Amino acid sequence: MAKIIDGKKIASEMLSEVFMEVKALKEKGIEPCLAVIIVGDDPASKVYVKNKKADCGLVGIRSLEFSLPADTTQKELVDLVKKLNNDRSVHGILCQSPIPKHLDEKEVINTISPEKDVDAFHPVNVGHIMIGDGAFLPCTPTGVMEMLRHEGISAEGKRCVVIGRSNIVGKPMSLLLLAQNGTVTICHSKTKNLPEITRDADILVCAAGVRNLVTADMVKEGAVVIDVSMNRNDEGKLCGDVDFAEVEKVAGYITPVPGGVGPMTRAILMKNTLTAVKNLTKQN
Ligand code: NAD
């Protein structure tokens, strides 16, 4: 039976450390502040933003929420980002994805000042992640790496398979595993013979967003299985890509959904907000 990696517990330890750092900054007269923009009424986005605000509250970071109507224009959104860029009391800025289809998300991300880009989505920060010298860490992949570190698992020399090649999860995940000297294979929707590839993995990261994509016969005995995805089952309950009940019997380590990667992603966002404070106060 696999050991379950408790993301909730690890994240809560990380949040305690962030709390102490925020306290120290406040004693120096600096109040870290994260601005979150949400456009429209997407229910999942509303939950994510609510959770981010709750995390800010827990660690003592001031949170600003800008809730814009679905018919917001591109100019209004970009102008808000520019205003926040210029506001010295704001350290981190993020725009909750997805935004309504009539808006150009790329332009919005490119407008966020790279120094305040706590999601690390700006091309400058993506470039730094590629080179491996970034200040900001991509939240979800870094959350995964933290879970591995916590369990004493290194990717060095291991066969790592990442399912998914998105800009926010799959690609940066692969880069972080590579940076730790893993031998990385990226799989995606056009990959042929997925089970053949996954069966080779010592570390398998699943981020396809496809429920029950990863079954027990696709997992090597003793492998580390990290389930990033957040899907809904027929009862509307949160689930990942992995058939947890069956894979748990084969894997060496496994992450649950919920309570796995999700809380880790949120904890890294809080850490990134502190990084933004440190970078910006250094410059001033
Ligand atoms: P995405 O839709 O942008 O990318 C999905 C990727 O999976 C694509 O690259 C696609 O090629 C690949 N894929 C799809 N079907 C596949 C298949 N049958 N076989 C192999 N590959 C397949 O999604 P994303 O933004 O990368 O997110 C992936 C999942 O992770 C989603 O469920 C999302 O909700 C979740 N997510 C979780 C967190 C977290 O904090 N836990 C953070 C971000 C995203």
DSSP labels for 234-253?
Answer: TTS-EE-SB-HHHHTTT-SE
| The pLDDT value given to residue 208 | 98
| The pLDDT value given to residue 279 | 86
Pair 198, 227: CB distance under 8 Å: no
| The pLDDT value given to residue 281 | 85
Walk me through the domains of the chain, giving residue ranges and CATH numbers.
Answer: 30-113 (3.40.50.10860), 139-262 (3.40.50.720)
| The pLDDT value given to residue 284 | 62
The answer to whether 96 is a known catalytic residue is yes
The one catalytic residue among 52, 158, 220, 271:
52
Instruction: Please work out whether the CB of residue 161 comes within 6 Å of at least one atom of ligand 1.
Output: no
Instruction: Please work out whether the CB of residue 95 comes within 6 Å of at least one atom of ligand 1.
Output: no
State in Å: Cα 209 to ligand 1 middle. Answer: 4
The tokens describing 163, both together, are 């399912």
Instruction: Please work out whether the CB of residue 163 comes within 6 Å of at least one atom of ligand 1.
Output: yes
The answer to whether 74 is a known catalytic residue is no
The one catalytic residue among 55, 96, 158, 202:
96
| Per-residue CA distances from 171 to 20, 42, 74, 81, 87 (Å) | 32, 25, 28, 26, 32
- 186, 187, 229, 268: which to mutate for ligand 1, most atoms within 8 A of CB? 229
Q: 130: how many CB neighbours lie within 10 A of its CB?
A: 13
Instruction: Please work out whether the CB of residue 228 comes within 6 Å of at least one atom of ligand 1.
Output: yes
**Mean pLDDT, 10 residues at a time, over the chain (284 residues)?**
98 98 97 98 94 97 98 98 98 97 98 97 96 91 98 98 98 97 98 98 98 98 98 94 98 98 98 95 72
Residue 127's H or E segment, with its range, is helix 123-131
